[in-house]
Structure 1
Amino acid sequence: MRGAPTTRRPVDENTPAVATAADAGETWSRFWGRSQSLIPTLAAVVLFVSMLVYAEIAYGRVFHLGTMSSLLVSFAPTIILAVAMTIVILSGGIDLSVGAVVAFTSVSGVMLMGAGVNGWLAIVLMIAFGALFGLASGVLIQYFSVQPFIATLAMMFLARGLASMLSTVPVHAPEGAPIELLATDWKLIDGPKVNDLVLTPGFFIAVVVVVGAVFFLHRTRTGRTVYAIGGAESSAQLMGLPVARTRVSIYIISGALAGLAGVVYTAEVGGKAQNVTGIGWELDAIAAVVIGGTLLTGGVGYVLGSVVGSLVLAALWMIITKDGSIKPEYLTIITGGILLAFVLLQRVLTKRKSE
């Protein structure tokens, strides 16, 4: 007796293929959702490389060790400020005082050296003064519910005013002060003619700050709390995270790094300090952070992205300097245009992610 015919079940046989396609689609969706935050940073990298290529074609001697050395050394203070601003903005805050803090710490530190205070102690005090401004901002914001914009604006006026009270004319560090050592030229590559890679301790201080900030934000509990506060402060509080302590610490770190930027900058200019130093530097730092992909609303961003943003500003400055026919005033206009473009890009990506 012949058995009943066997029926084919195409649906069951194709189920693994369908499941595989669905899994692949879900994996791609998750990857796309995570990678969207990297798009502004990647765009900044492309912009930076494009600017360098254009400058090389138009003016020449850009991919030149001497040019790169000058660019990196001169923008070391900006990179330090960008790192400080990244940490603050990641928490959903802002710090408008960093430029003025650079001025105050620079003037006060140089005057202390001139008064006979040990040079290394004066450098430590410069960083401590910056941290005190940050502490004041953090306390106002956390315990007196003052908006970060207002609190740090008040500190900006205070620091700038104190710097002007100390001196309205340039002051100079004594000959042979330790701060001058931070501007010592270290020739790392001895190239043909003047094509040498020459960096300073100030630049390596900026590198250490970047590496330390990456470790702090991604490998410590406090760093993860910074992201949590920026993402959703109420959720961070419900999870029992130390929101108050972390927020105050954020502004202390920002102020201390501003003081450190003051040390590096003062060394670069030969130990000279003046009360007008750092005007607009807070805006440059904010621009570098936004161009590098950090959301102004907080919770999303990368320190390395802010470094790329700083390099974009450095490349723009180099192009204007090499061209010679472009007025320096256009630097601010072009920076504003680039900043607006990246803010709009962030808005589009954020809207797509929410949808």
Structure 2
Amino acid sequence: MATLTEERRSTSSSAVSYRRFLSRHISWVPVFAAVIILVVMIAGAMWYFPNFQLNRIMSSILLDNAYLLVLAVGMTFVILTGGIDLSVGAVMAFTGILCAKMLGDGVPVAVAIPAMVLIGAAIGLLIGILVQFFDVQPFIASLIGMFLARGLAFVVSLESIKVDNEGLLWLQSTRFSFAGWYITPTGIIALLTVALAAFVLRYTRFGRTVYAVGGNEQSARLMGLPVVRAKLSVYVISGVCAGLAGIVLTAYSGAGYPLNGVGTELDTIAAVVIGGTLLTGGSGFVIGSMIGVFVYGLIRTIISFSGAEQSWTRITVGALLLLFVVVQRVIVSRSALSR
């Protein structure tokens, strides 16, 4: 009888420890789910497609989606505060075609690149001001920014502008190889952006404020946190990332085009959500968004390998979004119960 009682106590203690661990790390559950999906997809692709080479394919995914990864970093900051930014695709197109135009007019690349980043920051600041000081919903404010940036892109040119500047093209044409893996300067830029953002969110007061604002804005105000500055800053960061993504995409494609990035804002949001960031704010990680981008890129690659229509990419991503939205609701419900 004593042994049975001890076993029950041990089982009960283990269950309590498991629940405690889960409650402390519940925000990581969607990230782990995204990692599992990525690993399963890779394993399945390697088994089903004999010519699926992991190092070459993953390097190619980073190459093709470097701009999306940069956008996802900025979008993560915005969504963590409970906001949304629909302007990123249009800002990317505007800065991309303006960069191509400036380089074609003889402006040095060392001047053009910082200028595009500043333009992206300015549009992000405008959206942040509308949200914070004019109480405009983030959806509407960023929609205004989207129409503004897209219109300005068409003002620059109605046609694509080819880039001949060697300095910009070097970002895409140069490859650093190791053991079958390769990376371009655009990929390095994307990964450095992820690393910097992860550091800021994890180790700085600003990062903690971003999480606090998304978790409960009123409580963050009562704690004396700089809520206004944080909400303005996340849109500026998103704009900076959109401007940088415009440069990366222009280097990748070798041209600027006013219709670049149509629908990319939705791809970006999808990648961030698949990576585990809650749409309600307050929970999520940049690393998760990076995994979400790789999941999205791998879906496109597998569909291309299978010879199916690319429309299946949207269907598959939609199914994953449904799954992760359900997971998010479970997390929110558990968090509410734990309080």
TM-score by length of 1: 0.89
Greater alpha carbon shift after TM alignment, 71-80 vs 60-69:
60-69
Residue 267 of structure 1 aligns with an amino acid whose one-letter code is A
Aligned-residue offset at 1:28: 3.5
The separation in 2 between residues aligned to 1:22 and 1:197, in whole angstroms, is 48
Give the aligned partner of residue 283 of structure 2: 300
- Indicate the RMSD between aligned Cα atoms, in angstroms: 2.1
Alignment of 1:162-311 (within 5 A): 162-176=152-166, 178-189=167-178, 196-270=180-254, 272-311=255-294
Q: Secondary structure at the match of 2:155?
A: helix
- The correspondence for 2:306, drawn from 323, 328, 349, is 323
Between structures 1 and 2, the one with greater helix share: 2
Aligned-residue offset at 1:62: 2.4
Give the aligned partner of residue 59 of structure 2: 69
Please give the per-residue CA displacement for 1:183-220, whole angstroms capped at 9, x wherever unaligned: 13223225xxxxx3221001011111011001100111
- The correspondence for 1:148, drawn from 138, 147, 151, is 138
Higher-Rg structure is: 1
Residue 142 of structure 1 aligns with an amino acid whose one-letter code is Q
Residue 127 of structure 1 aligns with an amino acid whose one-letter code is V
Residue 279 of structure 1 aligns with an amino acid whose one-letter code is V
Please give the per-residue CA displacement for 1:48-88, whole angstroms capped at 9, x wherever unaligned: 11111121222223234322221111111111111111111
Aligned-residue offset at 1:254: 0.5
The separation in 2 between residues aligned to 1:61 and 1:79, in whole angstroms, is 26
Are 1:348 and 2:330 counterparts?
yes
Gap runs ≥5 in structure 1: 1-15, 191-195
Paired residues of 1:185 and 1:198 also in contact (CA < 8 A)? no
Are 1:87 and 2:77 counterparts?
yes
Gap runs ≥5 in structure 2: 1-5
The separation in 2 between residues aligned to 1:118 and 1:241, in whole angstroms, is 41
Paired residues of 1:52 and 1:62 also in contact (CA < 8 A)? no
The separation in 2 between residues aligned to 1:332 and 1:77, in whole angstroms, is 19
Paired residues of 1:80 and 1:206 also in contact (CA < 8 A)? yes
The separation in 2 between residues aligned to 1:64 and 1:25, in whole angstroms, is 39
Q: Secondary structure at the match of 2:25?
A: helix
Give the aligned partner of residue 32 of structure 1: 22
Aligned-residue offset at 1:349: 2.6
Q: Secondary structure at the match of 1:104?
A: helix
Aligned-residue offset at 1:251: 0.5
Paired residues of 1:120 and 1:179 also in contact (CA < 8 A)? no
Alignment of 1:1-80 (within 5 A): 26-80=16-70
Structure 1 residues 175 and 306, CA, compared in 2 at 3 Å: closer, same or farther? closer
Paired residues of 2:209 and 2:230 also in contact (CA < 8 A)? yes
The separation in 1 between residues aligned to 2:10 and 2:61, in whole angstroms, is 50
TM-score by length of 2: 0.93
The separation in 2 between residues aligned to 1:189 and 1:119, in whole angstroms, is 29
The separation in 2 between residues aligned to 1:171 and 1:50, in whole angstroms, is 41
Paired residues of 1:288 and 1:313 also in contact (CA < 8 A)? yes
Please give the per-residue CA displacement for 1:259-300, whole angstroms capped at 9, x wherever unaligned: 111111111112x01001011111111111111111100001
Structure 1 residues 26 and 66, CA, compared in 2 at 3 Å: closer, same or farther? closer
The separation in 1 between residues aligned to 2:91 and 2:12, in whole angstroms, is 55
